Chains A and B, each alone.
Chain A
Amino acid sequence: MKPRTWFTTAGTLIAIGTLIALVGLALVGFDGDKLSDLARHWYSVVHFN
Chain B
Amino acid sequence: MTRQDFLLRLRSGLAGNVPAEEAARLVDYYDEMILDLMEDGRSEADAVAQVGDPNDLVYAAAGTRPLPAPSPTSTLTRRRWRWTLLILGAPLWGSLLLAAACILLSADLILWCVPLTGAGVSFGFLLGGAISVIASPLAVSGAWALALVELGAGFILLGLGMIVVWLTVQITRICWRGHRALFQWGLAQLGRSKAVIA
Contact = CB atoms under 8 A, between A and B. Distances in A.
B133 to A, nearest CB: 9
Given A24-B147, A27-B148, A45 B142 contact: yes
B134 interface: no
Interface string B20-55: 000000000000000000000000000000000000
A46 to B, nearest CB: 6
Contact of B145 (A7, A17, A19, A25): A25
A21 B146 contact: no
B128 to A, nearest CB: 12
B173 to A, nearest CB: 13
Interface in A1-49: 3, 6-7, 9-25, 27-28, 35, 38-39, 41-42, 45-46
A24 B149 contact: yes
A8 B116 CA distance: 25
A18 B148 CA distance: 10
Interface string B140-166: 001111111111111111111011001
Nearest to B166: A6
B139 interface: yes
A13 B146 contact: no
B166 A35 contact: no
A14 B148 contact: no
A5 to B, nearest CB: 11
Contacts of A7: 163, 166
A4 to B, nearest CB: 11
Contact of A3 (B147, B148, B159, B166): B166
B138 interface: yes
B145 A16 contact: no
A13 B158 contact: yes
A14 B156 contact: yes
Nearest to A46: B138
B164 to A, nearest CB: 9
Contacts of B143: 38-39, 41-42
Nearest to B151: A20
Interface of A: 3, 6-7, 9-25, 27-28, 35, 38-39, 41-42, 45-46
